[in-house]
Amino acid sequence: MKPRYESLELKIMRSLNVRMNLAAKEENYYLNLEKGYKGEEKFDEWIKPLSNDRIVLNDLLLEYNNTLFQIDSLIISSNTIYIFEVKNYESDFFIEGDRWYSISRTEIKNPLLQLQRNESLFRRLLQDLGFNISIESYLIFVNPEFHLYQSPLNLPIIFPTQLNRFMDKMKKRPSNIKDTHSKLAKQLLSLHLKETPFNRLPEYHYDQLKKGMTCPVCQTFYNHLKKTTLICSSCGGREEYESAVLRNVEEFKLLFPKSKITISDIYEWCNTIKDKKTIRNVLTNNFILIRRGKSSHYVNND
């Protein structure tokens, strides 16, 4: 009922990573966002066999008692709600007491504490909504290059080598979705907060960003236009100039939501296309022109 989409934060950070020099900490944060999303996509593929007779809700941002919490994936079945915290960690880690460390002894956040917090808040929210249903929470590791040493046997962790067996176990549990379950799912969707306050975007300004159109495959800036086709010198990818301009208009709107879409701004932003008339034609064919003299600009058709 709620598919997963790339977050606004990830889209902006991906663009900034190409168009400016991020500080090491910011670049690492961006790479972790990318890695996390890819792990969630891998989880979504893995969980597909269960979606026919269960309700799947992804990326729920909820609030209980003035406290925000985010659930990577929530599955509603007949008798149980499953909460999944998905991690795409790779390399070796180990546990000492309640603390988690990388193999180089760098301490990381204990993901189990986050899972326990989410379950506790969700349980109380569920009670307030008038539902009494069993909850099971799991920490899922999807990267086959991940290993955790000294892990107690009783932790609610599913390791990459256990995914297939866990799936078989889930399939054997019958599920018959009724109106009550659909009602709960709709209530949770109505409570989902679309604007997340968790964004940690670096400060950026138009003048400091590199202008031009990037290849959607490898993120290299285009530098060759042959008739109506842009050709990537890095991966050989090809793209019609109109789709490339429209994609870059969307990127411009993403980065500067308060700015108006004008021919001059998009011409400068796209950079690779040297003819303003080409930019004007693309905008005129795909947007509505608001005529206001020097303040004329384009808006979406909808």
Cβ–Cβ < 8 Å for 244, 230: yes
Cβ–Cβ < 8 Å for 137, 157: no
Contacts of 50 (CB under 8 A, 6+ apart): 56, 75, 167, 170, 171
- Percent of the residues in the chain that have a pLDDT greater than 70, as a whole number: 99
Once rounded to an integer, what is the mean pLDDT over residues 50-72? 93
Structure tokens at 85: 């915290």
| pLDDT, tens digit (0-9, with 9 covering 90-100), for 231-261 | 999 898 899 999 999 999 999 999 999 999 9
Q: How far is 157 from 136, CA to CA, in rounded Å?
A: 11
Please report which confidence band the pLDDT of residue 274 belongs to, taking 50, 70 and 90 as the band edges: confident
> How much is the pLDDT for 162?
97
Does the pLDDT at position 15 exceed 80? Answer: yes
Least confident of 27-31, 62-66, 185-189, 226-230: 226-230
Please report which confidence band the pLDDT of residue 294 belongs to, taking 50, 70 and 90 as the band edges: confident
Contacts of 24 (CB under 8 A, 6+ apart): none
Once rounded to an integer, what is the mean pLDDT over residues 51-73? 93
Does the pLDDT at position 25 exceed 90? Answer: yes
| pLDDT, tens digit (0-9, with 9 covering 90-100), for 173-232 | 988 999 999 999 999 999 999 877 667 899 999 999 999 999 999 999 998 888 889 999
Cβ–Cβ < 8 Å for 87, 26: no
Does the pLDDT at position 149 exceed 70? Answer: yes
Please report which confidence band the pLDDT of residue 29 belongs to, taking 50, 70 and 90 as the band edges: very high
Q: What pTM value is reported for the model?
A: 0.88
| pLDDT, tens digit (0-9, with 9 covering 90-100), for 125-141 | 999 999 999 999 999 99
| pLDDT, tens digit (0-9, with 9 covering 90-100), for 71-124 | 999 999 999 999 999 999 999 999 998 899 999 999 999 999 999 999 999 999
List of E strands, the chain:
55-64, 67-76, 80-87, 91-96, 99-102, 107-108, 134-141, 146-149, 157-158, 224-226, 229-231, 238-240, 288-290, 297-299
> How much is the pLDDT for 3?
86
